[in-house]
Amino acid sequence: MGDQYPAQIWANGGRAVRTDAKYGNIYDHFNAVYEYANGVRAFSSCRQWDNTDTDVSDHVMGTKGAAHLQTHEIEGRDGTNWKYEQTEKDDMYQNEHNEFFASIRKGEPINNGDYMCKSTMMGIAARLAAYTGRILTWDEVWNSPLDLMPAKLEFGPIATPALARPGETKLPFAAKA
């Protein structure tokens, strides 16, 4: 999306499996929609359930077809298809490390800190949207005074906030100008 972040986010989630007190106040599944200023929507789902099937993949749907990023395939609506034929086993995580270390050796280190923080904030935004039941704007989330840090960093138990209830849970948001 050209380093643009969603204009608004909405989500739902809940606790289906991790309901024991030892899991604290977290949800164990989420479904989120990220809508960008140009109307493009990204859909994201996740769950934390043991012994279930998983699918960690990315798909881009457009007017002319779909791209399946993990399998390196494009399906055209007109029947034009493309698949990258890989000749060697490839590890995207190792590739990322290789590029990073090469950039350091070259004296031009890659710094992905900004986008990494903002992509983490996208996950937090989905969590906030699910917990509150609200459609949130990127600015509301980015400028929220919400602080999830424990009051004191020390070993031992910490207080667990109440389980969020969409429509009832209120989280702090910055005052609108």
Which contiguous run of DSSP H or E holds residue 119? Answer: helix 113-132
Smallest CA-to-CA distance from 163 within 67, 23, 47 is with: 23
Q: What CATH number should be reported for the domain whose range is 8-142?
A: 3.30.360.10
Which contiguous run of DSSP H or E holds residue 45? Answer: strand 41-47
Q: Which two tokens stand for residue 58?
A: 């990315």
pLDDT in tens, 42-93: 999 999 999 998 887 888 888 999 999 888 899 999 999 999 988 788 888 8
| Domain ranges (residues) in the chain | 8-142
Residues forming beta bridges with residue 35, ordered by sequence position: 8, 41
Smallest CA-to-CA distance from 30 within 119, 115, 128, 117 is with: 128
Question: What is the rounded CA–CA span in Å between residue 177 and residue 175?
Answer: 6
pLDDT at 176: 45
Tens-digit pLDDT string for the chain (177 aa): 888 999 999 999 999 999 998 898 999 999 999 999 999 999 999 999 999 988 878 888 889 999 998 888 999 999 999 999 887 888 888 999 999 999 999 999 999 999 899 999 999 999 999 999 999 999 999 988 888 888 889 998 888 888 999 999 887 754 444
Question: What is the rounded CA–CA span in Å between residue 118 and residue 64?
Answer: 29
pLDDT at 175: 45
Say if residues 122 and 129 touch (Cβ distance below 8 Å): no
- pTM here is 0.81
Q: How far apart, in Å, are the Cα atoms of 74 and each of 42, 54, 66, 137?
A: 18, 22, 6, 32
